[in-house]
Structure 1
């Protein structure tokens, strides 16, 4: 049975993610980038990019950019930095971004398949109306991250450290929190299917309905026998 909850808007007690990035200010007046060259990623705006692959090198930085319509076969950005940028209308089946650093990034109305971001750092990140396949955030550090009206097949937070992370109006088929360290992680707005590593939920906030539906798993964890 899926774990369904109502909206968490207006509720208190758990710190919500905090965001300082104002795209209207930071990205005001940025110049159009050369879509054919597609090689300048500092203060540039790109639209309608279609490529088989976009590969960045370790240490590269994408900063102050806007991408509207990003059709890629694959996106490789291992060990790179993405800062103060906005991505809308992206469609990328495979993202390889292990050990990358993301700060103040907005991603909207996009589809991503396999997203490998283990050992990564996410700070001030928002995903809105996105469809995500397998999101591998193992051993990643998350601070002030929000998923809003997203559909996620699986999000893997094994051994991750997450603080002020929320899931508002999201559907998550599988959530893995094995070995995770969670602080102010708000799951009340999520429709959860399966939770793996339920002991890793310590530090998260769930609803009464979610607690009731998770009761058999908690009982098994504690070695309790449910009778009647």
Structure 2
């Protein structure tokens, strides 16, 4: 996947996501965390955490942490913040993170069921080799977000604002773009199934093959009758 640096901002064409987070530098000297206590979330590395739930309040911030092997029944972080952190090998059926703030976060080799993050802010976020169920990003703000080699059942961008978002090597069964405001959203790398709210794709980039698949729906949207 093409990842640009700030020195390439002037280039024409669809702009890919830009990432500043350097895991090797930021997370170089973390304190080993106590998986049983699981109560410190600043500069800590956790491994093999298994709990029924992890609940954060709107006053909580997770900063400069690494989580390797995170088994949860549910994760609640409504209004909380996650900054400069890595989550790897997680298995979480339900995430509740409305109005949460995520900045410079890497999520790898993980499985999530429903991710309810409407009204959230995502900046500098990468999902790699993840299996995602329903991703609710309604009215969220996305800037520099990438889904790489992911499988997504449904991603809901209704009324969301998204800039420099890419889906490289990912499969999306259903995309809801109703009312979305998209800028430099690159869908060319996605195996895209159903699209709801085609009018919301204004500002997105698609491939010729994707255009051909969408042609009947786009013609219907424009009120065009196509006859052989």
Partner of residue 89, structure 2: 89
Does structure 1 conserve the Cα–Cα contact (< 8 Å) formed by 2:3 and 2:19?
Answer: no
Give the total of aligned pairs. Answer: 221
* SS of aligned partner of 1:98: coil
Does structure 2 conserve the Cα–Cα contact (< 8 Å) formed by 1:177 and 1:196?
Answer: yes
Does structure 2 conserve the Cα–Cα contact (< 8 Å) formed by 1:8 and 1:188?
Answer: no
Alpha-carbon distance in structure 2 between the residues aligned to 1:192 and 1:159: 20
Does structure 2 conserve the Cα–Cα contact (< 8 Å) formed by 1:63 and 1:83?
Answer: yes
How do 1:1-228 residues align onto structure 2 when only pairs under 5 Å count? Answer: 13-228=13-228
* SS of aligned partner of 1:209: helix
TM-score by structure 1 length?
0.95
**Alpha-carbon distance change, 224 to 160 in structure 1, aligned in 2, over 3 angstroms:** same
**Structure having greater relative contact order (Cα 8 Å, sep ≥ 6):** 1
Does structure 1 conserve the Cα–Cα contact (< 8 Å) formed by 2:93 and 2:113?
Answer: yes
Does structure 2 conserve the Cα–Cα contact (< 8 Å) formed by 1:8 and 1:168?
Answer: no
Does structure 2 conserve the Cα–Cα contact (< 8 Å) formed by 1:8 and 1:189?
Answer: no
**Alpha-carbon distance change, 147 to 116 in structure 1, aligned in 2, over 3 angstroms:** same
TM-score by structure 2 length?
0.95
Does structure 1 conserve the Cα–Cα contact (< 8 Å) formed by 2:3 and 2:16?
Answer: no
Q: Deviations over 1:117-157 (max 9, x none)?
A: 00000000000000000000000000000000000000000
Instruction: Note the residue ranges of structure 1 that are not aligned, 5 or more in a row.
Output: 1-6
Alpha-carbon distance in structure 2 between the residues aligned to 1:47 and 1:125: 21
Report deviation, 1:59: 1.8
Alpha-carbon distance in structure 2 between the residues aligned to 1:118 and 1:9: 26
Does structure 2 conserve the Cα–Cα contact (< 8 Å) formed by 1:46 and 1:66?
Answer: yes
After TM superposition, the runs of 4+ consecutive aligned structure 1 residues lying more than 6 A away are: 7-10
Instruction: Note the residue ranges of structure 2 that are not aligned, 5 or more in a row.
Output: 5-11
Does structure 2 conserve the Cα–Cα contact (< 8 Å) formed by 1:123 and 1:142?
Answer: yes
